[in-house]
Amino acid sequence: MITEPRLLLTVGEPSGIGPDICLQLASHALPTGVLLIGDLHCLRRRALTLGLSLRLEPWQEGDPWPVPENSVLHVLDVPLAQPCRPGHLDVANAPAVLATLDKAMHLLRAGAADALVTAPVHKGIINDAGIPFTGHTEYLADACDRPEVVMLLAGRGLRVALATTHLPLSKVAAAITREGLERTLRILHRALREDFALLRPRILVAGLNPHAGEGGHLGHEEQDIIAPVIAVLRGEGLRVSGPWPADTLFTPRLLEDADAVLTMYHDQGLPVLKYHAFGEAVNITLGLPIVRTSVDHGTALDVAGTGRAEGGSLLRALDVAAEIVRNRRAVAR
């Protein structure tokens, strides 16, 4: 019986660096079994382009789970509609990209795997193919019938979660409600306890407006929504504080007393996190019944097939996925 976490890895957009960084795994001593899901022919061609010496073995449902082996990767083949070229998007291949996620979800639901790690996809080409798509987070939330999920990025000791994700800035304020913010904080608190083994996590909450609203002179969301939610949770014993002005929230004095920061929108928190740990950070979806992690970067079409792609974030995403699986198992015992 395999006791180590069984990790699925979707290759992502085939014309981007997803295949490159996935193939790089063959040169690392992986601590647990990893199964790639993508086009086997595309991966073999990319390995030749990059001059990589490795063996790609086809895997089918029902086969024994792959075990780590030097210079060997196992692949569940999901064929593309058209041959892929590094750096050149093709709308015809967009359905196959999503099919890798669907295949992964099938294996997870069947209990054949323990966690999903995703290489980056290209949202634009999927939408150009006529498929509404805002991102992995939302797609997997819908697949799991969990409309309330939370995006968390973590790297070099900093964890940043988002109250809203892929929204135009003009729609952010209306999307922040007492009910939604409370659900987000509860999901974050639970994940810090169960997925990261932090018994009494400390969460800092950012304000929405400059200077956290300046006492109502620069906006009322802090007074009307954010502060009341924090008060409710603190009354239950949760270690939540704020709303803090976002321009001073990410300072060492405050962060040394925090396990995570909740920011109100995508570009309020992620620029800081990526400046701090880009290339080593991990994207984690909280609130799902499955474990899902991803890289902290995009498809990097200009780098695909050149040998310049760096796979540090993917390696870290695999490590974090395995860690969360182990922590959840410990909670369940």
Is 292 annotated in a binding site? The answer is yes
Is 103 annotated in a binding site? The answer is no
Distance CA 67, CA 93 (A): 30
Is 283 annotated in a binding site? The answer is yes
Is 44 annotated in a binding site? The answer is no
Q: Is 4 exposed, middle or buried (0-12, 13-18, 19+ CB in 10 A)?
A: middle
Is 137 annotated in a binding site? The answer is yes
A 10 A CB-CB count for 226 gives 26
**Domains of the chain with bracketed CATH:** 1-146+288-333 (3.40.718.10), 148-287 (3.40.718.10)
Look at residues 96, 153, 88, 32 and name the one whose alpha carbon lies nearest to residue 299. 88
pLDDT per residue rounded down to tens, the chain (333 residues): 568 999 999 999 999 999 999 999 999 988 899 999 999 999 999 999 999 999 999 999 999 999 999 999 999 999 999 999 999 999 999 999 999 999 999 999 999 999 999 999 999 999 999 999 988 989 999 999 998 899 999 999 999 999 998 889 999 999 999 999 999 999 999 999 999 999 999 999 999 999 999 999 999 999 999 999 999 999 999 999 999 999 999 999 999 989 999 999 999 999 999 999 998 999 999 999 999 999 999 999 999 999 999 999 999 999 999 999 999 999 887
